[in-house]
Every structure is written in structure tokens, then in C-alpha cells.
Amino acid sequence: MTPPDSFINRRDFLSKTLATAGAGLVMGAPSILRAANTAEGEQVKVALVGMGKQGRVLFESMCNIPGVHFQAVCDIWEYNRKGGVAKVRALQGHTPKGYADIDEMLATEKGLDAVVISTPDFWHAPHTVKCLEAGLHVYCEKMMSNTIEGARTMVHAMDKSGKLCQIGHQRRSNPRYRFVHDQLINSNKICGQIVNLNAQWNRAVNSSQDIGYNKKLLIEDEILNKYGYADMNQFMNWRTFRDLSGGPISDLGAHQIDIFNWFMGVPPKSVFASGGNDYFTEREHFDNVMAIFDYDTPQGGVRAFYQVLTTTSAGGGFWESFMGTQGNIKISEIASNTKIYREDSAPSWDSLVDRGILKKGIAPAPPPPSADAVASYASAAPEIFELPGGFNKPAHQPHLENFFATVRGKAKLNCDARHAFESEAPIFWVNPSALQRQPIQFTAEHLAV
């Protein structure tokens, strides 16, 4: 399959090889970022852009971070806006100014240092670019944009402005994920040769229904249309519309496919996807999507299977699994879903336990012999281990802490826009592959910024 026409004129990127495109991923850490201009000890003055469900999740996480002052709240919906203002007032005893329009906010508010953007996906790029051009540091929720071109504009705006732009792939700052990436996979290589990746986000039908709304709280059509929504239903359920989002593969899958790409250190070389409207037949986006990515890694070929189902929670919710010749690491943002398995034939991990790198887990009781199974067909049960510790913070807090520490010049971003783009670029091609029922072999045109 060839890329759309809009990418054909990107000849200047053709000279870049795929290896170059993945250079940042190979390095595994964001580039050195600009020194911040907020002095240590000063409050970082923040505007909250988008105070819907995810905006509130981020706000609750930021409440625990010292030195953050919420100066303004922006949301086109008065209900969200007033709720956000009230939350800030309850937290810091100061009433921030509320805005319906981001342009008005940027023109009016003085002294802002940063914005936290959690608007619908199709607004991420315009809002991020505006704020970077206004000289503000940006924390923007993933997926970077509903289009790859929108995501590119964010990287270019970050580079041009010299400001920070962190994308909300919060697992990149999660201590458990960082530990697994650094210590278990790269340093101690407990999986041996990783041969397969597997991940899923399966969500029950009840959790995937359209979001309703109170008729008394309707937004006027004129305002909805001004901001790109056909009606209130589209405003509430933008995730299900093709022009406004990438659908479940980007809404849920982006987090986990990002982990594939981060942990492998290289971008995939191809994707082959399938999707359908199996239950929510009226929706524009697929309700169930499955994708297979192929990787060429320094240790060998790796195939990755990912599925996002919005029609069943079967299979244990959401997790990512890294399967190797000597071990398997199954990790999830839910700590209790994380388990590590040593293959029976692998060298002992006792020394790792002694050093504190792993903790022995409790093996379940072996199943009784079953007459309907041939014992010799089964592999020996793997030994179970656990991570040595966890962390007691909201899931998004470490990533926001990393952002504000970088604003203060005390850290480097864990997921700046360029690295986020390198990881997200393959995700933009899942839906096209599923729609055309064809594999896509990635070229620089597909993946380059």
C-alpha cells in the first residue's frame, strides 16, 4: 500500500533511512532538551486546557506535585469549565480565570509557564502548536493527533520554539516500566532472546457505550460547530468519529504499542491489521482491531500481536507481554497484573533474587492430571517471579513530575514530542492497513518526521 498523496511531496524525508528514523528509539532516551527558564523554588504557572474526564485525571495527579500553580482553566463546555475552576479554587484557595476559547486565554493571561492539554485528539496539534508558539511549555495527552501530519506539526513546533513538549505516554515515567526496560530487558536480559510481543486492551461492552449527557447542559450548536463538532453527541463521543480521533487503536492501543516500540528500541518494519464493526455496527471506527507488527531488532526478528476489543473484557483487561527464550515479562499499569515467568530450561535467577532485582512469586498449585490431555505435549510450568517493588502514586503523576522537573531544568523529558512521534507513527498505519486489508511495509515516508 502506498502512502496518501499528502505524503508524496515529502521528498526531503526520503533521504532518511528507516534506521535514521528509529535512531532516537535505538538510543532509548529523549534528546537533550533546552534549559528551562523557571527558577528553582518558583511556582510553575499552569493553564489547564480541556477539563473533561482525562483533564480531571491529570489535575488530580498534579494536585500532589508541589510548586504547581493553576492560573487558568479553558474548556468550551461551561459545565467542565466551572467544575475545573471550582476544583482549582478548592485546592489552592485562588479562583483561576475560566476561558471558553484558548486564543482568548493566550492573549489575556500573563506570566504562564506551561499548559496541560487534554482536549480531544483532533485538537491536540492545533492547541499544542499555538501554545508552543506562545512561548509555553506543553504537556499534551496522547495520541499526539488524529493525523500523522498533525503529529508532525507538533514536533516541528517544539523544535522551532525551543520549548518543552511532553506527550502523555505516562508509562514512560512509570517506575515499574522503567525498571523492566532498563534492568530486566536491557541490562540483565532475563527474557533471553525476545521472540514475540503480545498485548491487549479488552474492554467490556458496558464500558464502551456512548456517553450520555444532561439535556439541560447542552452546548449551543453555534459553539459546537465553531470548534469542529456536528452536535452534542459528537462532542461527547468524539472517540468514535473518524475525523476526530483514531479510534480504539489510538485511544487505547497507543499506550501499549508505544511500550512495544520503546522496549524494542527500533520501529517496526511492517504492520498487518484487521478490524471490524462486530458489535457497535453504527460506529465509524472499528470496535475490534488486531494488528501484527514485525520488528528487526539487534537480537533478531520479533513479531508483536496487539488487539484492542471494545466488546469484551475477556482475557484479563490490559497488559503487555514480552516473551523470550528464557523468560516472559507480563507487565501492566495495574501492578497486580504484572508477573514474570522463568522458562524451565533457563539459567537460575537466584542471583537476581539475592541482588534484589526480582522477588520470588507464589506458584499456583499444579493442576491434577487430566485424562483429556497428553502430558508429554505440555511444557514444564515456568517459575514465577515478581518485581521487587511498586509505587504509591496516581498513574499519571510520575510523568507529570518528570515534565515539571524538566521545566525547572532538573530533568530530561521522558517522552518529548519527537520520541513520541517515532513511537506513534506506526500506529497511524494500523487503521489504513485494516481498511485496505493489506500489510504495510514501512518506509521513511511512513515514519519520518
Contact between 53 and other proteins by CB under 8 A: the answer reads no
Q: In this structure, what are the phi and psi dihedrals at residue 360, rounded to the nearest 5 degrees?
A: -70, 135
What is the maximum alpha-carbon separation in the chain? 75
Classified as helix, coil or strand, 317 is coil
Q: Residues near 254 by Cβ (< 8 Å), separated by ≥ 6? A: 142, 143, 169, 246, 424, 427
d(CA 76, CA 219) in angstroms, rounded, equals: 8
Give me the least distance between CB of 292 and other proteins, in Å please: 31
Contact set for other proteins, span 96-135 (CB under 8 A): none
Q: Which of 20, 28, 79, 394 binds other proteins (CB under 8 A)?
A: 79
Q: Which of 127, 137, 176, 203 binds other proteins (CB under 8 A)?
A: 176
- Please state, in angstroms and as integers, the Cα–Cα distance from residue 67 to each residue in 184, 233, 404, following that order: 34, 38, 9
Give me the least distance between CB of 333 and other proteins, in Å please: 15
Site stretch for other proteins (CB under 8 A), options 160-168, 179-187, 231-239, 375-383: 179-187
Contact between 313 and other proteins by CB under 8 A: the answer reads no
Q: In this structure, what are the phi and psi dihedrals at residue 238, rounded to the nearest 5 degrees?
A: -60, -25
Contact between 212 and other proteins by CB under 8 A: the answer reads no
Q: Which is nearer to other proteins, 180 or 449 (CB)?
A: 180
Amino acid at 17: T
Q: Which of 36, 38, 81, 87 binds other proteins (CB under 8 A)?
A: 87
Contact between 413 and other proteins by CB under 8 A: the answer reads no
Contact between 89 and other proteins by CB under 8 A: the answer reads yes
Give me the least distance between CB of 385 and other proteins, in Å please: 14
Contact between 391 and other proteins by CB under 8 A: the answer reads yes
Contact between 412 and other proteins by CB under 8 A: the answer reads no
Site stretch for other proteins (CB under 8 A), options 81-89, 117-125, 134-142, 233-241: 81-89
d(CA 109, CA 237) in angstroms, rounded, equals: 30
Give me the least distance between CB of 394 and other proteins, in Å please: 12
Q: Which of 35, 90, 374, 375 binds other proteins (CB under 8 A)?
A: 90
> DSSP strand E in 160-220: where?
165-167, 194-202
Q: Which of 191, 340, 357, 430 binds other proteins (CB under 8 A)?
A: 357
Cell numbers describing residue 64: 500532589
Cell numbers describing residue 119: 482536549
Classified as helix, coil or strand, 185 is helix
Contact between 182 and other proteins by CB under 8 A: the answer reads yes
In this structure, what DSSP letter does residue 240 have?
Answer: G
Give me the least distance between CB of 163 and other proteins, in Å please: 27
Give me the least distance between CB of 76 and other proteins, in Å please: 17
Asked if residues 31 and 416 have their Cβ atoms less than 8 Å apart, the reply is yes
User: In what order do the strands lie in the sheet containing 270-276?
Assistant: 359-360, 383-386, 339-342, 327-331, 318-324, 194-202, 300-309, 288-297, 270-276, 440-441
Classified as helix, coil or strand, 123 is helix
Give the interface size with other proteins as a residue count (CB under 8 A).
27
Q: In this structure, what are the phi and psi dihedrals at residue 293, rounded to the nearest 5 degrees?
A: -105, 140
Cell numbers describing residue 15: 533521504
Contact between 56 and other proteins by CB under 8 A: the answer reads yes
Q: Which is nearer to other proteins, 82 or 303 (CB)?
A: 82
Cell numbers describing residue 307: 488487539
Q: Which is nearer to other proteins, 383 or 386 (CB)?
A: 386
Of 71, 41, 38, 75, the closest CA to residue 55 belongs to: 75
d(CA 280, CA 287) in angstroms, rounded, equals: 6
Contact between 389 and other proteins by CB under 8 A: the answer reads yes
Site stretch for other proteins (CB under 8 A), options 177-185, 281-289, 320-328, 364-372: 177-185
Contact set for other proteins, span 325-354 (CB under 8 A): 335
Contact between 362 and other proteins by CB under 8 A: the answer reads no
Q: Residues near 195 by Cβ (< 8 Å), separated by ≥ 6? A: 300, 301, 302, 303, 323, 324, 325
Q: Which is nearer to other proteins, 60 or 149 (CB)?
A: 60
Site stretch for other proteins (CB under 8 A), options 162-170, 203-211, 269-277, 388-396: 388-396
Give me the least distance between CB of 170 and other proteins, in Å please: 14
Q: In this structure, what are the phi and psi dihedrals at residue 98, rounded to the nearest 5 degrees?
A: -100, 140
Contact between 64 and other proteins by CB under 8 A: the answer reads no
Give me the least distance between CB of 20 and other proteins, in Å please: 30
Which residues are near other proteins by CB under 8 A? 56, 60, 79, 82-83, 86-87, 89-90, 93, 175-176, 178-179, 182-183, 335, 355-357, 387-392, 398
